[in-house]
Structures are given as C-alpha cells and as structure tokens.
C-alpha cells in the first residue's frame, strides 16, 4: 500500500477480515473459511506465522491457530512487512495476507516483481495513467485494475515464473491443452 493511505486501508482491511466466518465446510452457508487440508498443511501455515512474528511482522488480526479441534487458522492480516521478508516472498496457502508499504511506483513494481511467483496481481488506483502504466511493468500472468479475482472465459488465466505453465480459459487454453500432429501419406506409392 502506498504509505500515504496505508493506515486507513489497513484499518478497513482488518475490519473486513474480522468479519470472515470460519468453520467446517458443511456448517452452513455463512462459512467462508474452512480448515487447512491436513495436519501437515496446518503446521506449515502455523510455521509461517511464527516465523513472521519472529521477523517483526505484526498480526493486526488473527495470527495463529483457532482454539478447539481441527486444523483452523484465524484469518490473518500481517503488517509491518519489510522488503524481502519470507511472508511476502512465499505462497503461504492459508488465510493470510501481508501488507507492505511503498512510497514510489518504482519501489512498488520492483518489490512486487521480486517474488519468484507470478500468478496474479492487483493495482488499485484512481490515477488513469497509473492504471495503464503499472500493469505493463508487473511480471504476472493476470493483473487486475481496481478489482481482484474476476475471471472471464474470453481471456486467458495463468501464471508466470514459478506459478505454473499454461493457460486456462479462452482459446489460448484450447491451444495449450492440445497436441497437434501432422501425418502425411503418399497415396501414389
């Protein structure tokens, strides 16, 4: 987040994350976050949160396992994330979001592109020039502007770098999942 708006946006993010309902998948239509898929996955996410705390990241909400049975991790917002911290470079695969602040567009792009992953990114801005310029500089397979996770069948979906090969959706996916072969037969022989 840009430093000038970080405090207000973190406050809003914490409020929203705090409303997420955690529970067993069949516990009701209001459940939004289920358990981790296994004890190993639970321990992995818990380990990320412990290392993040040791690195100086602060859990503005959540930050660890929920009490009781099951492999539940509280929806978590980690703030005070410094450039290069493990939680900002690695896919945690848990209900965890990290907040990094930046002061210039150049810094934001450099830090975003520093990850070895490149599935998707979002750019949130009211500046029309930025809404075109920044996505062009980001090394991600999908970049949304002022939205996130909106998919359309007409456009390809897939990552760059360590976030996989190939494309889902659109005609690109048909080409990507197809294997063409040319067989020519001389019928005159």
Domain ranges (residues) in the chain: 1-101, 125-189
Q: What is the dihedral of CA 61, 64, 65, 71, to 10 degrees?
A: 100
Strands (E) across the chain are located at 58-61, 76-79, 96-98, 117-118, 120-123, 142-145, 160-161
Write out the two tokens for 151. 């998919």
**CATH code of the region 1-101:** 3.40.309.10
pLDDT more than 90, % of the chain:
65
Contact (Cβ atoms closer than 8 angstroms) between residue 123 and residue 144 = yes
Q: What is the DSSP letter of 32?
A: -
Half-sphere exposure of 61 (CA within 13 A, CB side): 19
pLDDT grade for 165, boundaries at 50, 70 and 90: low
Q: What is the mean pLDDT of residues 35-54?
A: 97
Write out the two tokens for 42. 């639970």
Write out the two tokens for 13. 């993010």
Each residue's pLDDT tens digit, 50-107: 999 999 999 999 999 999 899 999 999 999 998 889 998 888 999 999 999 999 999 9
pTM for this model (two decimals): 0.81
């Amino acid at each position: 987040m840009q430093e000038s708006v970080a405090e207000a946006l973190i406050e809003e993010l914490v409020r929203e994350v705090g409303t997420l309902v955690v529970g067993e998948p069949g516990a009701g239509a209001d459940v939004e976050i289920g358990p981790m898929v296994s004890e190993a996955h639970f321990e992995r996410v818990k380990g990320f949160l412990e290392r993040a705390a040791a690195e100086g990241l602060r859990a503005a909400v959540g930050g660890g396992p929920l009490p009781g049975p099951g492999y539940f991790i509280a929806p978590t917002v980690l703030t005070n994330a410094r450039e290069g911290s493990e939680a900002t470079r690695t896919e945690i695969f848990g209900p965890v979001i990290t907040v990094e602040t930046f002061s210039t567009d150049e810094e934001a792009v450099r830090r975003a592109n520093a990850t070895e992953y490149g599935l998707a990114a979002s750019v949130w801005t009211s500046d029309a020039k930025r809404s075109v310029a920044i996505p062009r500089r980001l090394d991600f397979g999908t970049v949304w502007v002022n939205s996130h996770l909106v998919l359309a069948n007409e456009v390809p979906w897939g990552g760059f770098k360590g976030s996989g090969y190939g494309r889902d959706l659109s005609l690109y996916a048909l080409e990507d999942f197809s294997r063409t072969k040319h067989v020519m037969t001389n019928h005159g022989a």
